Amino acid sequence: MLTETASATTSEPAFTVDNFEVRDEDLPEFRDLKFEDINELHLDHPGANDPEYRKRRDYIASLAKKFRETGVITDVDYNEQEQEIWRTVANRLEEIQSRRASKFYLQAKKDLGISNDHIPQLTEMNRRLKELSNFRVAPIEGLVETRGFLSWLSWRTMLSTQYIRHHSRPEYTPEPDIVHESIGHIPMFTNRAFADFSQFIGHGARVATDHQLEELGRLYWFTVEFGLIEEGGETKAYGAGLLSSFGELENAFTDKVERRPFDLDEVINTAYDYSEMQPVLYVVPSYGYLKDVTKRYIQSF
């Protein structure tokens, strides 16, 4: 079993890429996560000038910090205003998703018990994830740097925020929030092939050179965040950045976007701009294909 922490360097020992079974006792200590300033709220955030929002966000962030000391996830007692934001966004997204989302994703959301009427707790989702694909989510208080974030996928763990966006703009968030995580990302980890593919990215991140890490970041962007898949002759969305954004999800299927067949070499060499609507997206033929090409790529590191 690998023992190094998220702050892996390029001189790590060899590892096998087929290590899919990660037991809870094999996980590195979460307290060893060394991240700086992850609880920053940038000035352009809609809640930046709302002291009550900041206080609430800080409180929820403190629960993530507590998790790193204790290893125990604390459920968040979401208030009525937060639940209302969830209901508004979840209902609206569901309508678009019913036409545009991958069939697998739509079923997975049900399997995880994610409903439009309340914000799901990480603990609830973890119970089902463990049974379905031996994956898990762990709380984090904000955006972390690429290597640290991606490396945790190597232990079949996704770091997830728990706070929710500001009520003034339910359709928008400049940072990940519980809507993006649990409507965007978490259902896909119930897919074995997708979970294995994610773990390969994590393995790669632990040993990647800085250049390879940049490539991995692009692979992650064009798949985990903005991926499309061919399903029964139709193109559907499975990327979290699409599934959790009304604007991006509708836009992805217009003629403003060029939808290209997935080509790993092209993807890892294609730069993206996170502040703009995506002009080019890549379509994979299946989740198994994505897993296989990524495995071969990571083996070449």
* Residue closer to Fe ion, measured from CB, 240 or 249: 240
Vertex 81 angle, CA 76 and 84, to 5°: 95
Asked if 240 touches Fe ion (CB under 5 A), the answer is: yes
* Residue closer to Fe ion, measured from CB, 2 or 35: 35
Q: Active-site residue among 102, 154, 160, 180?
A: 180
Pairing of strands 228-231, 234-237: antiparallel
**Closest residue to Fe ion in the complex (CB):** 240
Asked if 178 touches Fe ion (CB under 5 A), the answer is: no
From the CB of 142, what's the least distance to Fe ion, in Å?
12
Confirm whether 225 is a catalytic residue: yes
From start to end of 71-182, where are the E strands? 136-139, 157-160
* Residue closer to Fe ion, measured from CB, 219 or 240: 240
Q: Active-site residue among 82, 141, 225, 248?
A: 225
From the CB of 277, what's the least distance to Fe ion, in Å?
16
* Residue closer to Fe ion, measured from CB, 2 or 101: 101
For residue 256, give the 3-state DSSP assignment: coil
Q: Active-site residue among 151, 181, 182, 185?
A: 185
In terms of Cβ atoms closer than 10 Å to its own Cβ (0-12, 13-18, 19+), residue 136 is buried
Q: What DSSP character marks residue 204?
A: H
Q: b/e map of 270-300 (b: 16 or more CB within 10 Å)?
A: bebeeeeebeebbbbeebebbbebbbebbee
From the CB of 45, what's the least distance to Fe ion, in Å?
16
Token pair recorded at residue 145: 């740097």
Site for Fe ion in 209-228 (CB under 5 A): none
From the CB of 144, what's the least distance to Fe ion, in Å?
12
From the CB of 176, what's the least distance to Fe ion, in Å?
5
**Amino acid type, 38:** I
* Residue closer to Fe ion, measured from CB, 179 or 240: 240
Interatomic CA distance for residues 294 and 299, integer angstroms: 8
Confirm whether 244 is a catalytic residue: yes
Q: Choose one: 14-22, 158-166, 232-240, 286-294; the region binding Fe ion (CB under 5 A).
A: 232-240
Site for Fe ion in 103-142 (CB under 5 A): none
Interatomic CA distance for residues 296 and 191, integer angstroms: 20
Q: Choose one: 213-221, 233-241, 276-284, 286-294; the region binding Fe ion (CB under 5 A).
A: 233-241
Asked whether 132 and 111 are in contact (CB, 8 A), the reply is: yes
Asked whether 104 and 126 are in contact (CB, 8 A), the reply is: no
Confirm whether 185 is a catalytic residue: yes
> So which residues are the catalytic ones?
180, 185, 225, 244
> Which residues sit at the interface with Fe ion, rule CB under 5 A?
240
